[in-house]
Amino acid sequence: MIDAGGLYERYKELQSYVGWTEEDARRVAATATLLEPYLYALIEDFYAEIERHPNARKVITGGAEQIARLKGTLTQWIRDLLSGAYDTTYVTRRWKVGLRHVEIGLEQVYTNVALSRLRTGLVQSLHESWRGAGRDLKETVRSLDKLLDLDLAIIEDAYQAEYAARLQRTERLATLGQVAGGVAHELRNPLNVVKTSVYYLVNARNPTDDKKTEHLRRIERNVELADGVITALSNFARLPLPEMRPIDLESMMREVLELNPPGDRIEVVLNSPPGLPGGLGDASQLRIALGNLVRNARDAMTQGGRLEISLRSEADRVVIEVADSGTGMDEAELVRIMEPLYTTKTRGLGLGLAITRSIIDKNQGTIQVESQSGRGSTFTVRLFAAPVEGDQ
């Protein structure tokens, strides 16, 4: 939907930028009759040049008939240009040229060079037909230049806006496809368990009562697993604005470790220096973010290892470092590790770190990761320190 009023406002702003006046409009309008006899040749030259450039030529798919029509359009475009009336209708038509170029896949560079060629032709024709004073010719050419620059600005503006909008739509579709693939895989696993259990309950020859109970419990458990996939996805999709409050980091980390126990085979160390300032953030969100880091560390150390969590203060920030001695990641994995739907695990949607990063971002913090394949990974979270009481 084109907002013609808004467009015209924008055009007026651009006009004032180049110093466009009514006098310019009058001068350009005066050239219309002078240039009319040259239009045919200019337009023939315009399309002859296109023929020599395959990347420009390829967008014309309708053959001679289409070229004839396009020549008519271009003639009208030049007549409009020289009309002296640069109103809403005029601007909207220019804007549509940019949209159309995106539609047919004509790169903006060809608009720029084609207009340059046309400009040269128009100016040359003006020189040939000019009968007045040389000083007036110079002024007229300057006015024509301004007008062509404005036309180009509007066409390019439309091109960029439309191009960006299309790109966004394509990316959204690609992400949707990626999400659908990840969710499909994660949901098919529990569905498969449910389906095979149901098949057993319906078809097994002599299932004992214990066996039937076992399969019903398994169905129940896997329905919960499937539900968990959907919960994780919707948590990611709508993360509320954080309530920023001072947080005691040490006790928060202890809670996180309690909620996400790393297991017996992992030695856990929590280093917290005395007098550490509090952090600033939403504790309920940060617990999720840091819980993901602890769980990842655990999953990276299936054969056991050491999880070291170090808190420290750094200028106006507090730092939480979560270091494991697990499998680590190589360069290629490291680059992608925070992308949504990327995972190095065999199970899971690959949303954990993406959620963590998104939470830390919203809490005005930063997160960094360093890792060495076979040696382990260290995640470093920085949050603003809470202001000390009486400081303000």
Partner 1 sequence: MTDESARILVVDDDVDICHNLTDILSDLGYHVDLAHDGHSALKLLHQSRYDVALLDYKMPGMDGLTLYREIRKRHAGTVALLVTAYASSATAEAALSAGAWKVVAKPVDFGALLQFVEQAIHQPLLLVVDDDRDLCANLWDLFRDQGYRVGLAHDVSEASEQILDSRHRIVLIDMRIPGATGSDVFRMVRETDPRARTILITGYRAEMDPLIDQMVAEGADAVCYKPFDMPQLLAKLGELARPHAEEAGQNPG
Q: Which residues bind partner 1 (CB under 8 A)?
A: 181, 184-186, 188-189, 191-197, 199-200, 203-206, 208-211, 214-215, 218, 221-222, 302, 345-347
Q: With respect to partner 1, which residue has the nearer C-beta, 55 or 302? A: 302
* Alpha-carbon separation of residue 385 from 89, 128, 277, 358, 379 (angstroms): 56, 74, 6, 19, 18
Q: What's the rounded Cα separation, in Å, for the pair 212 and 217?
A: 9
Question: Hey, what are 269's tokens?
Answer: 């160390």
Question: In the complex with partner 1, which residue's Cβ is closer, 157 or 299?
Answer: 299
Nearer to partner 1, 197 or 292 (CB): 197
The SS3 call for residue 347 is: coil
Question: CA end-to-end span of the chain, whole Å?
Answer: 50
Closer CB to partner 1, residue 215 or residue 382? 215
CB atoms within 10 A of CB 181: 11
> Shortest Cβ distance from residue 209 to partner 1 (Å)?
8
Q: Would residue 373 be called left, alpha or beta, if left means φ above 0 and alpha means ψ between -120 and 50 degrees?
A: beta
- Nearest distance from C-beta of residue 323 to partner 1, angstroms: 23
Using the minimum distance from each CB to partner 1, give the nearer residue, 214 or 255: 214
Q: Measured from the CB of residue 303, what is the shortest distance to partner 1 in angstroms? A: 11
> How large is the angle between the packed helices 88-104 and 4-18, nearest 10 degrees?
100
| Helix runs in the chain, H state only | 4-18, 22-30, 32-35, 39-51, 54-57, 63-81, 88-104, 108-129, 134-203, 209-237, 249-259, 283-299, 331-336, 352-362
For the CB of residue 263, give the shortest distance to partner 1 in the complex, in Å. 16
Nearer of residues 25 and 225 to partner 1, judged by Cβ:
225
The secondary structure of residue 380, as a DSSP letter, is E
Q: Minimum Å distance from CB 189 to partner 1?
A: 6
For residue 328, the minimal CB distance to partner 1 (Å) is 15
